[in-house]
Structure 1
Amino acid sequence: MLGKLAKIAGICTIAVLLTGCSGGAGLFGGGTGDGLFARGAAEERREARREANRQAAIDEGLLPDPNRESIFDLFQNSDDPNNTVEVNRYLWNASLEILNFMPVEAADPFSGVIQFGYGTPPGGRTAYRATVYVQDPALEARSLRVSVQSRSGAVSRDVARQIEDAILTRARQLRIRDASL
């Protein structure tokens, strides 16, 4: 019986001593002491709290979300120019003006493709549809490709060339007009 009391007294004495020394956490960093591992664990907890608070502020709208994309991101020129596809704006606008009798079915300014639906030109009887491909930022004939089709099938290459010439002429007019501003 006396042996058991001595063991209990010894355990209580060790517990009291450890409690007085930051709860026995001085070596392993479980408490607030300057133990061997205490600084790293406390810093990790602080960083985790900071990140949780920051994320809560983002969720509540108090801070802007750095991963959020908006329509204004399209206008930032942060991409590598070697990886982006650029189209000539004069060719693009001239294509829309010259072929304005056709409805636009699809337009992708990033790849330079405008797809028009069937439309009858003024003074004509045959309905045509066209696809315009602006493939280069230069205002040159090699930058523009037009394919034209009627309801009965493909049309002659001369018709497509005439449309390309009209688009190129209008694009040059637009560029000259902008240069005089």
Structure 2
Amino acid sequence: MRLQTISGLLILTVAAAGCGQNRGAPPNPNYLNTDGSSTDARELNDPNRSTIWDVFGPNNAEQVTNVNRYLWAASLDVLSFLPVQEVDPFTGVIITGYGRPPGGGRSYRATVHISDPALAARSLSVALQTSGGAPVSSATTRAVEDAILSRARQLRIADNKL
């Protein structure tokens, strides 16, 4: 019981200490900076300002991934029969609309995620959907991934010949 009380007080003390920092003299609301803003407004918009409540706020940091350029180009090349809806080269995501492969009867939609800068199978993830809601076999998904990896290797070999 005593250990719980001490640990509770310790947590409360740390939380209270993190709520604010000693920032010196309070800002003068009558003083304007050269850009016309008051010191108080500038201090509130300071990107280095932090409080304990920042832990509970939204995470504004964007996740940026280095994307393998050969996998990226190969994905767009192999899936060129599908209309591209969204691309984000910073996170490595390509989302396509529905389209029919050459000589195929079923419409597919693809989502490609390139998660690593390495030219490897672990860097590539492909998800396929059909327009009718029928399940896509894992063999079909594997065939598309293999086609993208093969094309990426071809692009890399062609690039090294220059």
Instruction: Name the TM tier (shorter chain).
Output: 0.5 to 0.7
Match 1:85 to one of 51, 60, 65:
65
2:154 — aligned with what?
173
What TM-score does the superposition give when structure 2 sets the normalisation length? 0.60
1:157 — aligned with what?
138
Structure with more contact order per residue of length (Cα contacts < 8 Å, sep ≥ 6): 2
1:104 — aligned with what?
84
1:85-132, Cα deviation, whole Å (9 max, x unpaired): 111010000000000000001001111110010000111111100100
Is 1:127 equivalent to 2:107 in the alignment? yes
Distance, in Å, in 1 between the alignment partners of 2:85 and 2:69 is 19
8 A contact 2:111–2:126 mirrored in 1: yes
Q: Which amino acid aligns with 2:127?
A: S
Matches within 5 A, 1:132-147: 132-147=112-127
CA gap 1:84/1:126 in 2 versus in 1, 3 angstroms: closer
Which structure has the highest helix share of the two? 1
RMSD: 1.8
Distance, in Å, in 1 between the alignment partners of 2:107 and 2:64 is 35
Runs of 4+ in structure 1 deviating by more than 6 angstroms, as ranges, are none
2:97 — aligned with what?
117
Larger Rg: 1
The residue matched to 2:154 in structure 1 has which SS? helix
The residue matched to 1:121 in structure 2 has which SS? coil
Matches within 5 A, 1:42-53: 52=34
Runs of at least 5 residues in structure 1 that lack an aligned partner in the other structure: 1-50, 56-82
CA gap 1:84/1:115 in 2 versus in 1, 3 angstroms: closer
The residue matched to 1:170 in structure 2 has which SS? helix
Equivalenced residue count is 104
